[in-house]
């Protein structure tokens, strides 16, 4: 149950100090990335009226932005690998902020699709990927906590941006609001400036024998060469050979498919149950507040020594918890019970999102994480774009919200259970592979040592003439002895 290849950084990360400033920067960056597309929905009515668009045409702005944010992942990975996090976040912030400002003078909805949706979304993609990567460079022991704190940016900024956007809309109209919002997003450049690049030491740590010192730099040099070659590709499909990665990807896709449907339809469902409009909107606010607190809390819990080695199981538990909440929702009819549901929804949602990237870091290790997260986000585009419309379709066909919750809840719970079972299998296979590796290395070591010993003994034997006749025999005897010894070792290692 040990963590994956997480410690291939080659140095011991800071786990504190300037790292917390970096977490603050990542918090801002991730906050804008996730909440901007949702907060833009406040402007839709004004944009519809002004540009003569329909409701679904306006809603496409958010969808395009979110899709571009996830689809830009692989490009972002390549850039982060090449240039480091800081320049990428600064460029991302500039792209998104400037595109919003340009969009504010737009005269058609297509213009807005292009500037806010595609370019703005791409800028946010750069932000997201780079922020997650820099956390993995600065933290190892406290990494779940750092991840939880950074991911908490999403609900915090959503709670801040929603009323701010309403105020801006009332004061300046939608065009002025977009301009000012673009300016606010430029603050991501400040966040990026805080992300000081980590310069790893050129030599390994002291205390290791001379041979190992020589071998390790060679190994690292070859590793660096390989990773440079890999990052030259945009989509590194060799990740699909990694069992842990594929398991994570399938589980995540199932989660994302079911995750956003309930959020989109919660207030509509509440109104359907007879709750009044303001109270129904309040449900989402409650969920957001709970989410805000739970994400760092989950990070703290996941950093503890009991949970950290079993973090993948904790993640699958969070997913099953979330799915169960949705399955129970149709049974809750009164407003008080719906508030309770919103609280538990917030808790489980926060838990999953606090761990979602931490688990990927845990599986992939810091070196491979940027490319992995790029691949994951571009594949997650599909369930994310299909989920809410599929949920909406269910509502339209059956004219009842409960089937939506059943569908989302069952998909998420199935995903959680799948992750749980497959992780048990994965860890079991990993242990077997480790044992095999250990056996092989021990065998190699023994043959090297005994060959050395045999050489020394030969040199000694040469000086005694009687032993000259027996030259072949001692060698054979030694060889036998050498062969017997590893076999004895073999007998010991299976335990």
Partner 1 sequence: MKLLWAVSALLLSCWRADASTAANIVANPPEVSNQTYAVLTCNLTDNLAIKGSYWVHNGKIIEDSKSTDTSPYITHTLEKITHTSGGKYECVFLTEPQVNQTIEVKTLPHVYAYKHSEHGNEKDKGVLVCMSHGYPLPTNWNWYKGDDEDQEPIINGTSDKYEIRSTPNKTTLTINDLSIENDIGDYICSGTNELGTNKDKIHLRVRSRLAALWPFLGIVAEVIILVTIIFIYEKRRKPDEVNDGMYTMKSNSTANHKDKNVRQRNSN
Is residue 172 within the footprint of partner 1 (CB under 8 A)?
yes
Q: Quote the tokens at residue 231.
A: 């990052």
**DSSP codes joined into one string, 312-357:** HHHHHHHHHHHHHHHHHGGG--SHHHHHHHHHHHHHHHHHHHHHHH
Q: Quote the tokens at residue 155.
A: 């609900």
Contact with partner 1 (CB under 8 A): which of 5, 52, 163, 176?
Answer: 176
Contact with partner 1 (CB under 8 A): which of 51, 59, 160, 186?
Answer: 186
Residue span binding partner 1 (CB under 8 A) among the ranges 26-34, 166-174, 265-273, 335-343: 166-174
Q: Count the neighbouring beta carbons within 10 Å of the beta carbon of residue 482.
A: 16
Q: Which CB sits closer to partner 1, 2 or 171?
A: 171
Q: Which CB sits closer to partner 1, 51 or 75?
A: 51
Is residue 49 within the footprint of partner 1 (CB under 8 A)?
yes
Instruction: Please count the CA atoms within 13 angstroms of the CA of 155 that sit on its side-chain side.
Output: 25
Residue 124 and residue 36 in contact, taking contact as beta carbons nearer than 8 Å: yes
Is residue 440 within the footprint of partner 1 (CB under 8 A)?
no
Q: Which CB sits closer to partner 1, 65 or 90?
A: 90
Q: Which CB sits closer to partner 1, 50 or 242?
A: 50
**DSSP codes joined into one string, 181-194:** HHHHHTHHHHHHHT
Torsion of CA 328, 333, 338, 344, to 10 degrees: -20
CB of 458 to partner 1, least distance (A): 33
CB of 180 to partner 1, least distance (A): 5
CB of 351 to partner 1, least distance (A): 31
Residue span binding partner 1 (CB under 8 A) among the ranges 189-197, 232-240, 287-295, 318-326: 189-197
Which sign does the torsion angle of CA 424, 426, 429, 435 carry? negative
Residue 409 and residue 255 in contact, taking contact as beta carbons nearer than 8 Å: no
CB of 281 to partner 1, least distance (A): 19
Q: Quote the tokens at residue 76.
A: 């972002």
Residue 30 and residue 292 in contact, taking contact as beta carbons nearer than 8 Å: no
Backbone φ/ψ region at 17: left (φ over 0), alpha (ψ -120 to 50), beta: left
Task: Residue 184: name the closest of 202, 209, 208, 167 by CA.
Answer: 167
User: In sequence order, which residues have a C-beta less than 8 Å from that of residue 202 and are 6 or more positions away?
Assistant: none
Residues within window 270-309 making contact with partner 1, judged by CB under 8 A:
none
| CA angle (437 as vertex; 431, 443 as ends), nearest 5 | 140
Contact with partner 1 (CB under 8 A): which of 189, 256, 351, 391?
Answer: 189
Residue span binding partner 1 (CB under 8 A) among the ranges 202-210, 264-272, 400-408, 469-477: 202-210
Q: How far apart are CA 340 and CA 280, in angstroms?
A: 13
Is residue 419 within the footprint of partner 1 (CB under 8 A)?
no
> Contacts with partner 1: how many residues (CB under 8 A)?
39
CB of 86 to partner 1, least distance (A): 10
CB of 448 to partner 1, least distance (A): 24
Give the Å distances, CA to CA, from 276 to 12, 79, 124, 288, 331: 55, 48, 36, 19, 19
Is residue 51 within the footprint of partner 1 (CB under 8 A)?
no
Contact with partner 1 (CB under 8 A): which of 59, 75, 196, 246?
Answer: 196
Q: Which CB sits closer to partner 1, 190 or 263?
A: 190
Is residue 179 within the footprint of partner 1 (CB under 8 A)?
yes
Is residue 175 within the footprint of partner 1 (CB under 8 A)?
yes
Residue span binding partner 1 (CB under 8 A) among the ranges 200-208, 232-240, 307-315, 401-409: 200-208
CB of 75 to partner 1, least distance (A): 24
Residue span binding partner 1 (CB under 8 A) among the ranges 120-128, 172-180, 261-269, 385-393: 172-180
Q: Quote the tokens at residue 94.
A: 């500039």
| CA angle (54 as vertex; 50, 55 as ends), nearest 5 | 105
Give phi and psi for 121, each to the nearest 5. Answer: -60, -40
Q: Which CB sits closer to partner 1, 9 or 390?
A: 9
Is residue 95 within the footprint of partner 1 (CB under 8 A)?
no
Is residue 177 within the footprint of partner 1 (CB under 8 A)?
yes
What string marks each residue from 8 to 47 as x (binds partner 1 by CB under 8 A) or -? ---xxxx--xx-----------------------------
Task: Residue 356: name the closest of 344, 348, 366, 368 by CA.
Answer: 348
Contact with partner 1 (CB under 8 A): which of 201, 209, 465, 494?
Answer: 201
Please give the residue ranges that form the binding site for partner 1 (CB under 8 A): 11-14, 17-18, 49-50, 90, 101, 104, 170-173, 175-177, 179-180, 182-184, 186-187, 189-190, 193-194, 196, 198-203, 205-207
């Amino acid at each position: 149950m040990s963590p994956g290849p997480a410690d291939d950084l080659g140095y011991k990360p800071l786990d504190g100090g300037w790292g917390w400033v970096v977490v603050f920067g990542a918090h801002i960056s991730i906050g804008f990335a996730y909440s901007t597309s949702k907060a833009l929905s406040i402007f839709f009515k004004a944009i519809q009226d002004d540009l003569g668009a329909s409701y679904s045409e306006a809603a496409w702005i958010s969808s395009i932005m979110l899709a571009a944010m996830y689809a830009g992942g692989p490009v972002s990975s390549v850039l982060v690998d090449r240039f480091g996090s800081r320049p990428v976040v600064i460029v991302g912030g500039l792209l998104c902020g400037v595109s919003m400002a340009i969009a504010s003078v737009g005269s058609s909805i297509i213009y807005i699709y292009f500037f806010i949706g595609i370019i703005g979304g791409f800028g946010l993609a750069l932000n997201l990927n780079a922020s997650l990567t820099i956390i993995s460079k600065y933290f190892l022991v406290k990494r779940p906590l750092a991840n939880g704190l950074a991911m908490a940016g999403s609900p915090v900024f959503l709670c801040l941006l929603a009323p701010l956007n309403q105020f801006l809309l009332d004061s300046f109209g939608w065009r002025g609001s977009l301009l000012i919002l673009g300016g606010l997003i430029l603050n991501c450049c400040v966040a990026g400036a805080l992300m000081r690049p980590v310069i790893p030491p050129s030599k390994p740590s002291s205390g290791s024998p001379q041979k190992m010192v020589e071998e390790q730099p060679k190994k690292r040099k070859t590793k660096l060469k390989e990773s440079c070659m890999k990052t030259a590709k945009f989509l590194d499909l060799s990740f699909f050979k990694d069992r842990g990665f594929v398991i994570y990807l399938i589980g995540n896709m199932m989660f994302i498919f079911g995750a956003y449907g309930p959020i989109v339809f919660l207030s509509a469902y509440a109104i359907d149950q007879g709750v009044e409009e303001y109270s129904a909107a309040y449900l989402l606010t409650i969920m957001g507040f709970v989410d805000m607190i739970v994400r760092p809390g989950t990070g703290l819990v996941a950093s503890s020594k009991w949970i950290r080695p079993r973090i993948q199981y904790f993640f699958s538990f969070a997913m099953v918890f979330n799915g169960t909440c949705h399955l129970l929702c149709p049974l809750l009819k009164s407003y008080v019970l719906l508030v309770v549901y919103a609280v538990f929804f917030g808790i489980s949602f926060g838990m999953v999102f606090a761990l979602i990237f931490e688990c990927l870091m845990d599986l992939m290790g810091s070196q491979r994480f940027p490319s992995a997260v790029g691949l994951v986000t571009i594949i997650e585009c599909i369930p994310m774009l299909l989920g809410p419309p599929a949920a909406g379709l269910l509502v339209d066909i059956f004219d009842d919200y409960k089937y939506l919750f059943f569908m989302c809840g069952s998909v998420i719970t199935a995903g959680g259970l799948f992750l749980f079972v497959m992780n048990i299998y994965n860890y079991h296979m990993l242990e077997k592979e480790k044992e095999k590796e250990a056996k092989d290395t021990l065998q190699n070591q023994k043959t090297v040592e005994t060959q050395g010993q045999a050489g020394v003994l030969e040199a000694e034997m040469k000086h005694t003439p009687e032993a000259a006749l027996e030259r072949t025999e001692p060698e054979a005897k030694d060889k036998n002895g050498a062969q017997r010894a590893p076999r004895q070792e073999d007998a010991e290692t299976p335990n």
